[in-house]
Amino acid sequence: MASVRIRALLFDVFGTLVDWRGSIAGQLETFGNERGIAYAFVDAWRGEYVPSMDAVRNGSRAWANLDTLHGESFDRLAERFALPPLSADERRWAVWRWHELEPWPEVPAALERLHERYVLATLSNGNVELLIDLARHAKLRFDTIFSAEIFRHYKPDRQTYLGAAALLGCAPAETMLVAAHESDLRAAAGNGLRTAFVSRPAEYGPRSTSNGVMPEGFDAAVRSLDALAELEF
């Protein structure tokens, strides 16, 4: 499989390309200080991410896109953290912060370099509107946006990985997923895609469990997107 030329790179977004934790906390700082929202709230909000999608994946609730799931999680956490009552506009503003995340410093320029050789696309659990807004805000270069919303399946369901490759006219082995999360990459590899791990030890801030050791079993493992742009596949 390693001899097959890579034609397209698919990118996980949250954590891999953008700093969701620092961005959300930074944008909520003034809003949050006045309403009791701090990093603990942001971490708890991210903690709701997988369980909320799992409810869709296992059929215990109907399909809902990530904006809807983020909004529902926000409402549960507002009650858990005993926030004062928020207006509809305040709630909408808070949930919309996921549309305006900041990239890791090297990402925009590295994507430009990679775009010279590969087709670039997102493959994220974020919904299409969110990903478009995020890409425009962070100035991230993609040829197209692939979202779980298109396939009505959240990663790591196989329909996401195989569906994205098929829409690009690529075989799975001609497609590489780039992500900072080993479980995402292993699911992609299990469906025949190539894989590149990008280390993001700061993704979870002080509670990160990263020990700095690069994982094995992927086609590439790098410490930045710049380093990935130096490689040929």
pLDDT > 70? residue 126: yes
Q: What is the pLDDT of residues 134-167, one digit of tens each?
A: 999 999 999 999 999 999 999 999 999 999 999 9
Check whether 26 has a pLDDT greater than 90.
no
Domains and CATH numbers, the chain: 8-19+101-229 (3.40.50.1000), 20-99 (1.10.150.240)
206: left (phi over 0), alpha (psi -120 to 50) or beta: alpha
* Sign of the torsion formed by the C-alpha atoms of 140, 192, 48 and 207: negative
Map tokens 């040829």 to a residue: 143
pLDDT of 1? 47
> What's the rounded mean pLDDT across residues 72-95?
91
Q: What is the pTM of this model?
A: 0.93
Q: What is the pLDDT of residue 208?
A: 61
The stretches of 170-221 forming alpha helices (DSSP H) are 182-190
CA distance 204 to 14: 11
Half-sphere exposure of 34 (CA within 13 A, CB side): 7
Flag whether pLDDT at 15 surpasses 70.
yes
- Which residues lie closer than 8 Å to 81 by C-beta, 6 or more apart? 36, 37, 40, 41, 44
Q: Considering Cα of 134, then 135, then 136, then 137, what sign does the dihedral take?
A: positive
pLDDT of 211 > 70? The answer is no
Q: Is the pLDDT of residue 41 over 90?
A: no
Q: What is the pLDDT of residue 13?
A: 98
- Asked if 32 and 41 touch (Cβ cutoff 8 Å), the reply is yes
In this predicted structure, what is the pLDDT of residue 230?
A: 97
- Measured between alpha carbons, how far is 70 from 83 in angstroms, rounded to an integer? 17
